Amino acid sequence: MIRYSLVCDKGHAFDSWFADSAAYDKQAKRKLVTCPHCGSAKVDKAIMAPRLASAKKDQAPIEAPPAETPAAAPAAAPTTPVAMISPQERELRAKLKELREHLTKNADNVGAKFPEQARKMHYGEIEHRSIYGEATPDEAKRLAEEGIEFHPLPVLPEDRN
Ligand SMILES: [Zn+2]
């Protein structure tokens, strides 16, 4: 028996056993070797990294860097995303808040019925009016696919608790 490390055309790596290398060749030719992850029959032997190549080679040692080379930068410490909010940013946030307040004051909150209501309006089953509510990403996608125009309600960071 011989074990081959294989890789499919989608990049899935897997191992498979064959009676011998000829058996692998025969099965691969007849598209009988398939990827267990996606079923693709376009598989190839994975290129094995030659582990011993560099260790065994009798290479000349790499010379030490000349003295003027700056010392290697210290390893970067883990960071945390931070932000400074500019006055423009503050203004934008205020505008977003205003827009949201205006929208919620002047539109009907239809909650989870939003997709249904938006669809009825789009197809003329009910009168057009301003509404807002909730839609799951799936529903939002379907509405967009049907050509129904809607806009995400601006959400301000402080609204999320
Ligand atoms: Zn695959």
- 28 C-alpha to center of ligand 1: Å? 14
- 32 C-alpha to center of ligand 1: Å? 14
Two tokens, residue 14: 């897997």
**What mean pLDDT, rounded, does the chain reach?**
80
31-87 pLDDT, tens digit each:
999 999 999 999 999 876 555 544 444 555 566 556 555 555 566 677 777 777 788
| Residue 94: exposure state from Cβ atoms within 10 A (0-12, 13-18, ≥19) | exposed
All residues with CB under 5 Å from ion ligand 1: 8, 10, 12, 35, 37-38, 40
Percent of the chain exceeding pLDDT 70 equals: 77
- 34 C-alpha to center of ligand 1: Å? 8
Residue with tokens 């789009």: 122
- 25 C-alpha to center of ligand 1: Å? 19
Q: What is the pTM of this model?
A: 0.39
Q: What is the Cα Rg of the chain in Å? A: 31
- 57 C-alpha to center of ligand 1: Å? 35
- 48 C-alpha to center of ligand 1: Å? 18
